């Protein structure tokens, strides 16, 4: 009897184990023995994660997750490495970034001589007749800082029209040949929302064009071919994967969407694209009755992007008070603000059509004007989850921080700008106004959602450098070791959340990505150092070891 009982128990145990094994899900990919910061407040940390079908099965201990390993499971031993959700960059000019990687690079040119040499080399490389574009120069890096002039580059670009952008995208340097092609002379009037810088002695254009004045030349630049756009997009996507960026908000043109559609068709889209198109095209989308976001989890039309003003570095950001370094100027309204009232009409039209809006505002007056518009529209409209965004929200009046919170506006901010502009911002607008420049902590304390990004190509497409900037505020010149306005530093957890879950929230996707949770999309990044265990100033030395999108390894160092 005892033998029969033993056999019965044995068979029962085997049957139970067999049934349990049938129910047990087998993962496609398992990451073990790591430190996983999930950005999930219910379970902040885990050791391992299992992935199947492009989604997260479970996050937990290595012992628990090991049970999901089958014969076909790919297993990665993290050996203690830190894992975060895939980074979400909430503000890029992505296709332009790809073109910048393929063009002349002027951002780190630290002198007039180096600036000229690089443009000369580019002219020799591309041959006569071709335009020299992009560049992303920064005159604040020159010693001493000075705006470049056409006379610098005319001798080395006799046969090449030049239109190279300052890294903020609100100012260009053009040569005499480009001015001639555009018919711009000393008699050409400033367009609304723009400025042609002219020599105070001769009245001749210096070659510097700001905001709307840039269009005078840019309209003469040949449109890149579709093949060239595809190449630029692929180069940009490769760059993003190397930096752990798995989702991108592209402040773009409608034509960009066609490029991304082709890459999606070819199965070459290695990041999730959330594309904003100019608010000037609101009527097209309203007529189609297209609600945003529209698309699938890899490619969506996100909403409409508009401009109120320019940038600080170009002295076109709109302020209530004059610039400290140029008392005759308070900045410029962007051309999209003309005729008066048109921006408000377009946002009303977008709101009625159910479209999200993301509006660029830099100066304190620019932000104030935009909040006035938002306030009026929201007060007269039905209550709904709009998630309207202010892109940059850079220089704020203290009272307007409260208004951003009360209106439930998402602040789409770029932390790297703080450590870049912090080198020279006080010279332009004085110390008092800088107290609420990049006021990340003040915004968070009022309950504002911070969605972090790079503004690439204005700043590097590198979330790690952005996290470092938000946490330390140590300027690039090394002159603020305790941080530039250190009271505005935020915690590491808040910064990482800005590049993950908050970015997902800003695109209505927080339920499917942005944290390491069951059933969410399996987008992850593995870092070379545990940034939670090192001094904040060491964060910038961290590298990406692996990037995972949809459960597939798309980059491995």
DSSP 90-134: EEE-HHHHHHHHTSEE-TT--SHHHHHHHHHHHHHHH-TTPPEEE
Strand partners, 88: 247
Q: Is residue 204 part of a domain?
A: yes
Kindly calculate the radius of gyration of the chain based on its CA atoms and give it in whole angstroms: 26
**Which pLDDT belongs to residue 127?**
87
Q: Which two tokens stand for residue 92?
A: 């890029």
In the predicted structure, residue 73 carries a pLDDT above the cut 50: yes
**Which pLDDT belongs to residue 144?**
85
Question: What does the pLDDT average to over 257-274?
Answer: 96
**Which pLDDT belongs to residue 12?**
52
Instruction: Report the greatest alpha carbon distance in the chain.
Output: 114
C-alpha–C-alpha distance, residues 541 and 341, integer Å:
47
In the predicted structure, residue 27 carries a pLDDT above the cut 90: yes
Q: How far apart are the first and last CA of the chain?
A: 63
C-alpha–C-alpha distance, residues 220 and 131, integer Å:
10
| Helix, strand or coil, per DSSP, at residue 431 | helix
**Which pLDDT belongs to residue 7?**
52
Q: Is residue 154 part of a domain?
A: yes
Q: Is residue 46 part of a domain?
A: no
Q: What is the mean pLDDT of the chain?
A: 93
User: Which residue, 203, 218, 233, sits at the end of a domain?
Assistant: 218
pLDDT band at 11 (very low <50, low <70, confident <90, very high): low
C-alpha–C-alpha distance, residues 482 and 459, integer Å:
22
DSSP conformational letter for 222: P
Do 213 and 256 reside in the same domain of the chain? no
Do 179 and 254 reside in the same domain of the chain? no
Do 133 and 234 reside in the same domain of the chain? no
| Helix, strand or coil, per DSSP, at residue 261 | helix
pLDDT band at 23 (very low <50, low <70, confident <90, very high): low
Note the pLDDT tens digit of each residue in 451-482.
999 999 999 999 999 999 999 999 999 999 99
Q: Count Cα atoms within 13 angstroms, Cβ side, for 336.
A: 23
Q: How many domains does the chain have?
A: 2
User: Which residue, 218, 247, 282, sits at the end of a domain?
Assistant: 218
Question: What does the pLDDT average to over 29-50?
Answer: 98
Do 380 and 501 reside in the same domain of the chain? yes
pLDDT band at 140 (very low <50, low <70, confident <90, very high): confident
**Which pLDDT belongs to residue 443?**
98
**Which pLDDT belongs to residue 18?**
44
Do 318 and 365 reside in the same domain of the chain? yes
**Which pLDDT belongs to residue 468?**
98
Note the pLDDT tens digit of each residue in 325-376.
999 999 999 999 999 999 999 999 999 999 999 999 999 999 999 999 999 9
Q: Is residue 181 part of a domain?
A: yes
Nearest one of 186, 259, 183 to 228, comparing CA atoms: 259
pTM for the whole structure: 0.89
552-556 sheet: strands from edge to edge: 45-46, 35-37, 82-85, 524-527, 544-549, 552-556
Do 403 and 526 reside in the same domain of the chain? yes
C-alpha–C-alpha distance, residues 202 and 209, integer Å:
17
Do 233 and 256 reside in the same domain of the chain? yes
Q: Which two tokens stand for residue 19?
A: 């049934």
**Which pLDDT belongs to residue 3?**
53
Q: Is residue 26 part of a domain?
A: no
Question: What does the pLDDT average to over 46-65?
Answer: 97
Give yes or no for a cis peptide into 457 (omega within 30° of 0).
yes
Question: What does the pLDDT average to over 517-540?
Answer: 98
**Which pLDDT belongs to residue 16?**
47
Nearest one of 523, 520, 553 to 57, comparing CA atoms: 520
Do 329 and 427 reside in the same domain of the chain? yes
Do 478 and 552 reside in the same domain of the chain? yes
Q: Is residue 445 part of a domain?
A: yes
Note the pLDDT tens digit of each residue in 349-362.
999 999 999 999 99
Question: What does the pLDDT average to over 383-388?
Answer: 96
Residues 6 or more apart whose Cβ sits within 8 Å of residue 528: 81, 542, 543, 544, 545, 557
Do 460 and 343 reside in the same domain of the chain? yes
Question: What does the pLDDT average to over 41-67?
Answer: 97
Please answer whether residues 375 and 403 qualify as being in contact, where contact means their C-beta atoms are separated by less than 8 angstroms. Answer: yes
Helix axes 398-406, 364-380, angle to 10 degrees: 30
C-alpha–C-alpha distance, residues 172 and 142, integer Å:
16
In the predicted structure, residue 168 carries a pLDDT above the cut 90: no
Q: Which domain holds residue 386?
A: 224-556
Note the pLDDT tens digit of each residue in 302-316.
999 999 999 999 999
Question: What does the pLDDT average to over 526-551?
Answer: 98
In the predicted structure, residue 1 carries a pLDDT above the cut 50: no
User: Which residue, 218, 239, 258, sits at the end of a domain?
Assistant: 218
Do 429 and 467 reside in the same domain of the chain? yes
Q: What is the DSSP string of 296-362?
A: -SSEEEEEEEEESB--TTTT-S--SS-BTTBTT----B-GGG-STTHHHHHHHHHHHTT--EEEEE-
If you count DSSP H runs as helices and E runs as strands, how many of each does the chain have, helices first?
19, 25
CATH number where 472 lies:
3.20.20.140
Do 117 and 150 reside in the same domain of the chain? yes
C-alpha–C-alpha distance, residues 7 and 425, integer Å:
82
Q: Which two tokens stand for residue 16?
A: 């139970």
Neighbours of 149 (CB within 10 A): 17
In the predicted structure, residue 292 carries a pLDDT above the cut 80: no
**Which pLDDT belongs to residue 107?**
86
Q: What count of residues does the chain have?
A: 557
Cα angle at 306 between 302 and 309, to 5 degrees? 150
CATH number where 131 lies:
3.10.310.70
Q: Is residue 70 part of a domain?
A: no
The percentage of residues in the chain with a pLDDT greater than 90, rounded to a whole number, is 87
**Which pLDDT belongs to residue 525?**
98
Q: Is residue 57 part of a domain?
A: no
């Amino acid at each position: 009897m005892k033998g029969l009982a033993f056999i019965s128990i044995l068979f029962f145990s085997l049957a139970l184990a067999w049934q349990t094994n049938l129910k047990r899900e087998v993962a496609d990919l398992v990451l073990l023995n790591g430190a996983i910061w999930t950005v999930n407040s219910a379970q902040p940390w885990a050791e391992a994660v299992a992935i199947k079908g492009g989604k997260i099965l479970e996050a937990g201990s290595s012992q628990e997750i090991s049970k999901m390993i089958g014969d076909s499971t790919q297993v990665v031993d993290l050996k203690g490495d830190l894992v975060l959700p895939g980074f979400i960059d909430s503000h890029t000019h992505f296709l332009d970034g790809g073109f910048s990687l393929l063009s002349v690079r002027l951002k780190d040119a630290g002198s007039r001589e180096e600036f000229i040499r690089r443009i000369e080399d580019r002219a020799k490389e591309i041959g006569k007749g071709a335009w020299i574009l992009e560049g992303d120069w920064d005159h604040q890096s020159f010693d001493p800082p000075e705006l470049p002039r056409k006379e610098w580059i005319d001798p080395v670009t006799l046969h090449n029209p030049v239109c190279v952008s300052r890294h903020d995208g609100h100012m260009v340097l053009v040569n005499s040949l480009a001015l001639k092609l555009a018919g711009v002379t000393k008699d050409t009037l400033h367009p609304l929302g723009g400025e042609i810088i002219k020599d105070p002695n001769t009245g001749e254009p210096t070659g510097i064009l700001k905001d709307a004045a840039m269009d005078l030349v840019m309209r003469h630049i040949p449109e890149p071919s579709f093949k060239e756009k595809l190449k630029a997009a692929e180069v940009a996507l490769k760059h993003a994967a190397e930096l752990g960026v798995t989702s991108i908000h592209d402040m773009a043109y409608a034509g960009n969407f066609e490029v991304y559609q082709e890459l999606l068709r070819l199965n070459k889209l290695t990041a999730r694209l959330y594309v904003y198109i100019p608010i000037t095209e609101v009527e097209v989308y309203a007529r189609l009755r297209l609600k945003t976001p529209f698309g699938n989890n890899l490619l969506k039309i996100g909403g409409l992007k508009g401009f109120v003003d320019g940038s600080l570095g170009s002295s076109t950001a709109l302020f209530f008070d004059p610039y400290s370094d140029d008392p005759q100027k308070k900045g410029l309204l962007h051309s999209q603000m003309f005729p008066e009232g048109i921006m408000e009409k377009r946002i009303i039209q977008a709101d009625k059509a159910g479209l999200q809006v993301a509006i660029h505002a830099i100066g304190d007056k620019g932000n104030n004007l935009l909040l006035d518009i938002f306030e009026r529209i929201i007060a007269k409209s039905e209550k709904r989850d709009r998630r309207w965004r202010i892109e940059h929200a850079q220089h704020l009046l203290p009272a307007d921080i409260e208004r951003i919170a009360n209106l439930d506006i998402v602040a789409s901010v770029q932390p790297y700008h703080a450590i870049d502009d912090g080198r020279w911002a006080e010279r332009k607008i004085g110390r008092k106004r800088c107290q609420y420049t990049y006021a990340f902590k003040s915004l968070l304390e009022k309950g504002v959602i911070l969605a972090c990004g790079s503004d690439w190509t204005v700043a590097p497409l590198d979330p790690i450098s952005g996290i470092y900037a938000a946490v330390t505020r140590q300027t690039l010149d090394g002159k603020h070791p305790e941080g530039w306005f250190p009271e505005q530093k935020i915690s590491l957890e808040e910064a990482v959340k800005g590049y993950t879950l908050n970015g997902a929230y800003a695109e209505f996707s927080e339920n499917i990505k942005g944290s390491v949770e069951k059933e969410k999309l399996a987008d992850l990044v593995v870092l070379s150092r545990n940034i939670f265990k090192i001094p904040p100033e060491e964060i910038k030395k961290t590298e990406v070891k692996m990037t995972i999108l949809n459960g597939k390894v798309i980059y491995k160092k």
